[in-house]
């Protein structure tokens, strides 16, 4: 059987990621491929590092994009900073805290778990108590913006507590980078990772990371070898070094990095604080529409992410059928709940290029129509006008 070229349908991506990609980024990715050690490419690498420092709000020299998705950025942080026999306090309030635990254990260390209810932020008082109980802990790891629930934790306070107990910190910023306030240097975060496909709105496949001098000191003074060759920063630093010299480590995804560079240029043009404000602005309108429809949010407003909205499902509604209808009839993707949240929430993303007034209004209108057709107990035909009123306010 002859197989032809693949032409994907045009969708509006309003799930938990990936988000819609700006056409400028897609165009950048289509530019001619050059060698990953070409002087022109090396210049672009240096520019990408500077742009990424701006996005993270850091002057860390070791700030770079990893040639793999966000999960690899997570693993890079853990395999480089965690050694066998150490204790790591892991704060879990959703799926991605569970993945941190898995990384700790695979590094041969012990994970001391702080388990919060899903949809709640990490409790600083519980971290303080746990570290007092385990004075031999070396690291604290937590998710800044938990993608599985839409809850944000107070990263600045959590890092401060960790440092008071002589612990380094690893922070998951996959969903928060460029969407919520994040200040790596001011908050003194030691190691942080993100993904290209969320609020940066690039294609998936790149993981931004940044490491403080404290973290680098530990990495370069390890007692044991990093268990991953590909993610060993002692080797990777030779390729992403800051002096313009490059030693071969791996063949970087050249065209993907073109797109990542362009995404960071777009972020710089908009302004980081403007990006944070835009995500909040569109969330406020979505909130007005969702609540006018008679639906509610799973996460309390005080710690609710603007870019990842966990909306509760009306009683008696087949949530998978709603998502399927939105996809097939409206070319609109929203996400399902994960783990214990499966069947209880939808996850509606307003990330990056997808965080627009048009998308908010279209999503509310489509959701209203589908739920009304299914006989859901909602206030029909009120969502869009409520969102428009929020925009006009």
- Count of positions (residues) in the chain: 393
Give the pLDDT confidence of 93-117 residue by residue, as tens digits: 999 999 999 999 999 999 999 999 9
Give the C-alpha separation, 207 to 317, whole Å: 37
Give the pLDDT confidence of 170-215 residue by residue, as tens digits: 999 999 999 999 999 999 999 999 999 999 999 999 999 999 999 9
| DSSP one-letter string for 146-184 | ETTTTEE--HHHHHHHHHHTT-EEEEE-TTTTTTS---H
Residue 95 DSSP SS3: helix
In DSSP terms, 192 is beta-bridged to 171, 210
Contact 306, 151 (CB under 8 A): no
Please tell me if the domain spanning 23-269 has the same topology as the one spanning 272-392: no
Token pair of 227 as six digits: 């268990």
Which sign does the torsion angle of CA 89, 94, 96, 98 carry? positive
Query: Stretch 35-57: mean pLDDT, rounded?
Result: 95
Query: Stretch 19-41: mean pLDDT, rounded?
Result: 96
Contact 101, 170 (CB under 8 A): no
Whole-number percent of the chain with pLDDT over 70: 99
E strands, 51-109, are 62-66, 87-92
Give the C-alpha separation, 257 to 313, whole Å: 39
Give the pLDDT confidence of 353-378 residue by residue, as tens digits: 999 999 999 999 999 999 999 999 99
Give the C-alpha separation, 250 to 266, whole Å: 27
Q: How much is the pLDDT for 117?
A: 96
Which sign does the torsion angle of CA 288, 289, 291, 292 carry? positive
Q: Does 244 score more than 80 pLDDT?
A: no
Contacts of 15 (CB under 8 A, 6+ apart): 333, 334, 335, 347, 348, 349
What is the average pLDDT score of the chain?
A: 96
Give me the numbers of helices (H) and strands (E) for the chain, helices first please: 14, 14
Q: Does 32 score more than 90 pLDDT?
A: yes
Give the pLDDT confidence of 310-358 residue by residue, as tens digits: 999 999 999 999 999 999 999 999 999 999 999 999 999 999 999 999 9
Contacts of 42 (CB under 8 A, 6+ apart): 244, 246
Q: How much is the pLDDT for 364?
A: 98
Q: How much is the pLDDT for 212?
A: 98
Smallest CA-to-CA distance from 151 within 117, 182, 124, 178 is with 117
Give the pLDDT confidence of 273-315 residue by residue, as tens digits: 999 999 999 999 999 999 999 999 999 999 999 999 999 999 9
Give the pLDDT confidence of 245-256 residue by residue, as tens digits: 677 788 899 999
Give the C-alpha separation, 204 to 125, whole Å: 36
Give the pLDDT confidence of 257-282 residue by residue, as tens digits: 999 999 999 999 999 999 999 999 99
In DSSP terms, 304 is beta-bridged to 151
Query: Stretch 28-56: mean pLDDT, rounded?
Result: 95
Q: List strands edge to edge, sheet with 139-143.
A: 62-66, 207-211, 191-193, 168-172, 139-143, 87-92, 110-115
Token pair of 217 as six digits: 């000191």
CATH topology of domain 23-269: 3.40.640
Q: Does 242 score more than 70 pLDDT?
A: no
Give the C-alpha separation, 384 to 393, whole Å: 14
Contact 182, 56 (CB under 8 A): yes
Sketch the domain layout of the chain as residue ranges: 23-269, 272-392
367-to-9, 82, 193 alpha-carbon distances in Å: 20, 45, 33
CATH, domain range 272-392: 3.90.1150.10
Token pair of 382 as six digits: 């009120």
């Amino acid at each position: 059987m002859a197989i032809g070229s693949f032409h994907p349908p045009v969708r509006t991506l309003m799930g938990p990621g990936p988000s819609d990609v700006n056409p400028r980024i897609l165009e950048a990715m289509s530019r001619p491929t050059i060698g990953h050690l070409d002087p022109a490419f090396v210049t672009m690498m240096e520019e990408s590092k500077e742009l990424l420092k701006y996005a993270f709000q850091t002057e860390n020299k070791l700030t770079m994009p990893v040639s793999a998705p966000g999960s690899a950025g997570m693993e890079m942080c853990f395999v480089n900073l965690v050694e066998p026999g150490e204790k790591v306090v892991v704060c879990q309030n959703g799926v991605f805290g569970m993945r941190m635990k898995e990384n700790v254990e695979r590094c041969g260390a012990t994970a001391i778990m702080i388990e919060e209810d899903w949809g709640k932020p990490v409790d600083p008082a519980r971290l303080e108590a746990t570290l007092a109980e385990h004075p031999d802990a070396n690291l604290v790891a937590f998710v800044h913006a938990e993608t599985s629930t839409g809850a944000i934790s107070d990263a600045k306070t959590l890092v401060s507590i960790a440092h008071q107990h002589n612990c380094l910190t690893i922070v998951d910023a996959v969903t928060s980078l460029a969407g919520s306030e994040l200040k790596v240097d001011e908050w003194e975060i030691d190691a942080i990772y993100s993904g290209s496909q969320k609020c940066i709105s690039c294609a998936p496949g790149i993981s931004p990371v940044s490491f403080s001098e404290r973290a680098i000191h530990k990495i370069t003074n390890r007692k044991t070898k990093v268990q991953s060759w590909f993610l060993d920063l002692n080797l990777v630093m030779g390729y992403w070094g800051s002096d313009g010299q490059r030693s071969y480590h791996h063949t970087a995804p050249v065209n993907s990095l073109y797109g990542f560079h362009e995404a960071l240029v777009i972020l710089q043009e908009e302004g980081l604080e403007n990006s944070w404000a835009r995500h909040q602005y569109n969330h406020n309108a979505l909130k007005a529409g969702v609540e006018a429809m008679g639906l509610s949010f799973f996460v309390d407003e005080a710690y609710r992410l603007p870019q990842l909205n966990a909306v509760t499902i009306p009683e008696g509604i087949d949530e998978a059928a709603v998502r399927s209808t939105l996809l097939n009839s409206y070319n609109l993707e929203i996400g399902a709940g994960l783990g214990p949240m499966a069947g209880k929430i939808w996850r509606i993303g307003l990330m990056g290029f997808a965080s627009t007034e048009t998308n908010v209004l279209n999503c509310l209108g489509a959701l209203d129509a589908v739920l009304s057709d299914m006989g859901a107990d909602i206030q029909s035909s009120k969502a869009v006008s409520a969102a428009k009123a929020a925009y006009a306010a």
